[in-house]
Amino acid sequence: MDTLFCGFLVWLAALCGISAATPSDVEARVADLIEKMTLAEKIGQMTQINGAGGTLPDDMRARVRNGGLGSVLNEVDVEIVNEIQRIAVEESRLGIPLLFGRDVIHGFRTVLPIPLGQAASFNPELVRRGARMAALEASASGVNWTFAPMIDMSRDPRWGRVAETFGEDPFLTSRMAVAMVRGFQGEDLSAPGNIAACAKHFAGYGAVEAGRDYATTNIAEHDLREVHFPPFRAAVDAGVATLMTSFSDLNGVPATGNRFLMTDVLRGEWNFDGFVVSDWASIEQLVIHGVAEDARDAARQAVDAGVNMEMATPLYRDHLAGLIEQGAVDPAQLDAMVADILRVKFRLGLFERPYRNPSDFPATANDEHLELAREAALQSLVLLQNRDRALPLNRTELRRVAVIGPLADDEYEQLGTWIFDGDTSITRTPLSALRRQLGDSAEVEYVRAMKNSRSRSTEGFAAARDAAASADAVLLFLGEESMLSGEAHCRAEIGLPGNQHDLVRTVAGAAKDKPVIAVIQAGRPLTLAPVLDQVDALLFAWHPGTMGGPAIADVLFGAESPSGKLPMTFPKMVGQIPIFFGHKHTGKPPSAENFIHIDDLEERMVQYSTGLVASHLDAGFEPQFPFGYGLSYASFRYGDIAVSRTSMALGESLTVSATVENTGDVAADEIVQLYTRDLVGQMTRPVRELKGFRRVRLKPGQKTRVTFDLHSDDLAFVGRTMERITEPGVFHAWIGGSSDADLRVEFRVTAAKPEEGS
């Protein structure tokens, strides 16, 4: 059958809506294709190049026509995408369609809050819907593969890429990872509008030394399996199509050349049958790391580790054929790696529906998408301070409002990092939303005060001071520009940059007894101690995306109550990092009773009799704000915690429940959280582990009983032999509104019951 006729059949199948290959025949079709492919065509499938930005150079045409390409990166002109795809399916010898990859991290044209902000919603269903929206918008531009979700575990807010993560906790990250995978891929990966997801970066990338991007990671295997692997395992179990390697080295072996990760664990233990793509040029970087002698050796090591596709660089294209001929790479191994790529393409339905017609998809930034972006922004907002109930503001009491700061009216900066395709023309800023909210009832005076968040100039401070002095309320919009977080944008100090602290002091001094409200936009937790004493209320908005402005305005004026909770611990100062709620108990655990502040130290006190503990003399052991923390305009009372039974055997379940009552005067959402502790284990165990969470909405005076199911398997941990086990023993459980909840109950896990007749 000639190539043109093959292409005609593909086109006809797409036109007639023939469904994609079923799981039962995918393997047969993959094997049939592998049998027909030349070595050059196989290597072509393992090759990805960067697009030409809306053009189609002759050399790319030739490469696609010759079967020398498996994927194109960063091409979002749908006409160019379709033309490249047409050449692949109609003019190449075997008609194998291409993957078109793009970083669709938190939205496409319509931008959602950064993933760290989405995690603050503690709402996996909202994350799933957001990923579905992003997939539809990206599909209309020809994208069929996204490099998300990023599910690296990080407990260091200095690292710029925490903005892309779901925070510090493996349980929360796992839940969000599954939600995002299902949002991108749907129930049927081949259905129109679904795109292949890519869990990244495998593995340990978030533990880079000192929060410096690309730096070394040294992680004990136990911690890899206990903390860093679970979100990836959850994504694999949810059917994620692809994974991406980490840039960093892991215990001396760069992830891109790490056979333990890609072959032993991912495929051997987890039975992953999708494919692995390198990060940008990370195969070439094996030479820079110093573990590969040259480009040829780097290609060999990456193949041996199990990296199916090379992103951007040409090492596979240049060296794999020679490595095969010289016996350095087994041809059967190469066939298996190509099969993984083809399997994903069949599952995506690309052989049946290779082209994208924008009219088949909803218009980008439509009303439904904008409302979803507003809802996501709203649920991401975390109220960290509200002295004397400064918020919400009563608009009937306001005649003049001062809006001050560099991030009040910046359409681009509020979108956050990784928004290549974000449409700033649809951004709704806080300033525009506030003016809409207030209408003619109050005058809004806007003073930018600083050119950007990094500015050291005080030139605009006088105008800010005057505006604050004459206003009934002051709204300060501060934080980080989007460029201060993200890849390769790490910070050694994580306070408000530039002269913002001075701006806050200037404005607070001028405002006197009027409410001063700070709204912080940032891509990471910040050290906020210098600000907290100066402002009455502080709302942390992350980078909230397209509809951040209306969401913020709704909360400031009480149309909505804030409900977000922190997905990362906020330190008091940088020296506390890493600080996270799931730390170990240690042999000398800190407590409020034995903490000594450095200002109180006397020579006679520096003795063991004072009870030296695992803490800092100048910061203590407690964070500024703990994981799971977030205030509301309502108040919630927790009580009557109970377990359905005080003892369960291995393999059994019990329930943990508590009563939650809204004792405030407004309806509001509360995120109820379940934590446990294993008191004795063969390995030291965290002081608390998140095991469940639930968002509930309660009217004033309303009370509900929130129940969590807890199976003995949920209490498993990685033991000394690197196997997951649940040990009999005593456990504590807490239910509350943050990780420092004090409502506790105790239960016991016993050995498994013997089977009847044994």
Looking at residue 455, its amino acid is: S
- Token pair, residue 89, equals 């399916």
Taking the C-alpha atoms of residue 401 and residue 556, their distance in angstroms, rounded to an integer, is: 12
Task: Provide, for the chain, the percentages of residues in helix, strand and coil under a 3-state DSSP scheme, each rounded to the nearest 5.
Answer: 35, 20, 45
DSSP labels, 503-534? HHHHHHHHHTTS-EEEEEE-SS----HHHHTT
- Residue 666 CB burial class (10 angstroms; 0-12, 13-18, ≥19): middle
Q: State phi, psi for 186 to the nearest 5 degrees.
A: 65, -170
Taking the C-alpha atoms of residue 239 and residue 242, their distance in angstroms, rounded to an integer, is: 9
Taking the C-alpha atoms of residue 179 and residue 186, their distance in angstroms, rounded to an integer, is: 10
Q: Give the other-Cβ count within 10 Å of 634's Cβ.
A: 21
Q: Give the other-Cβ count within 10 Å of 423's Cβ.
A: 18
Q: How many CA atoms lie within 13 A of 638 on its CB side?
A: 22
**Partners of 473 in the beta sheet?**
401
CA-based diameter of the chain, in Å? 92
What is the C-alpha R_g of the chain?
27
Measuring CA to CA, which residue among 154, 47, 62 is closest to residue 101? Answer: 47
Q: State phi, psi for 657 to the nearest 5 degrees.
A: -140, 160
- What angle (nearest 5°) sits at the alpha carbon of residue 312, between those of residues 311 and 313? 100
223 is catalytic: no
The 3-state DSSP class for residue 350 equals coil
Q: How many CA atoms lie within 13 A of 214 on its CB side?
A: 11
- Residue tagged active-site, from 156, 249, 279, 678: 279
Active site residues: 279
